[in-house]
Structure 1
């Protein structure tokens, strides 16, 4: 990950950031609340495999529950603090999504997802990801999971609660934010 400080030389507005993303589709880009441009390396094959399993489980649950909208790692969200972030997987409650205009849905949706998931890859810095998860919670997320496959640990974030570290979970419930959702980690840890 590389963070470029652009201010005061350049203002990375929503429009400029969107154009930059369109012109460089091969890059994974985010914008911090301080206006920094964050470029991340593409995921390695193993991380991509793990992320697909996590996203697929979330998608499959939502297909049955029909309670919201699921997103993969390519979706960007404009958080209330001005950051544009792209979690590895996300879910937004249906009524919140339906309040957005079609134009807002086509861009980086101006909301923080209700649930966010970040998967730590071998090149990621744990402290940076922990700060990112806290940023999601501070901006309205109701549940966040930071998954570290190397240590087989999951850090659970909830508003108003201390971060909970769970060692080697086989399954993890998304209650009450994700009713009846249980993530199976067997494919992630293998």
Structure 2
């Protein structure tokens, strides 16, 4: 059985169930994401940590987020990528009211990390949804196959097999993710 919720119901549900990882599809379907296992959680932390270090050290204006941050996409979906970044100019254009709940914006950069229980087709659809809603760059990292699918606005998806590093250029100038730290 699928449960549909309005955006207002979703905000209330998320506020009263902060321990749950919830998302809402563009059609209103409530999506409950189970907690990750220790291995996936460790790998998420490493990716978000590297993004944070880049953000802190590079002086590049913008805002970085972890997997507990939700965003209302232009299509009405409320999504929480595993890691994300929004350029400062777009962030500053938001009004204060939406910043108190979920900002109405699609991140410029998103990362989705496939856990053992994630259906690949659902994550691929989610990556296309991000692009369709304004993301410029997305990485779908699959540790099971040691592949990374690169999603770029206006380009075909590139799949890298067992890459050692990923570059955030030109969206995140100077950001490089060492995948040896993630695969470990």
1:186 is the counterpart of 2:184? no
2:156 to 142, 157, 162: 162
Question: Alpha-carbon deviations, 1:127-178, whole Å to 9, x = none?
Answer: 1000000000000000000000111100000111110000111111110000
Q: Which residue of 1 aligns with 2:146?
A: 152
Q: Which residue of 2 aligns with 1:30?
A: 23
- State which drifts further: 102-111 or 42-51: 102-111
Matches within 5 A, 1:13-162: 13-65=6-58, 66-162=60-156
Q: Structure 1: give runs of 5+ residues left out of the alignment.
A: 7-11
* 1:13 Cα deviation from its structure 2 partner: 2.4
CA RMSD in angstroms comes to 1.1
Counterparts of 1:104 and 1:19, CA distance in 2: 14
* 1:105 Cα deviation from its structure 2 partner: 1.4
Q: TM-score normalized by structure 1? A: 0.93
Runs of 4+ in 1 over 3 A off after TM superposition: none
Q: TM-score normalized by structure 2? A: 0.96
Counterparts of 1:184 and 1:106, CA distance in 2: 34
Counterparts of 2:36 and 2:90, CA distance in 1: 30
Q: Which residue of 1 aligns with 2:171?
A: 177
Q: Structure 2: give runs of 5+ residues left out of the alignment.
A: none
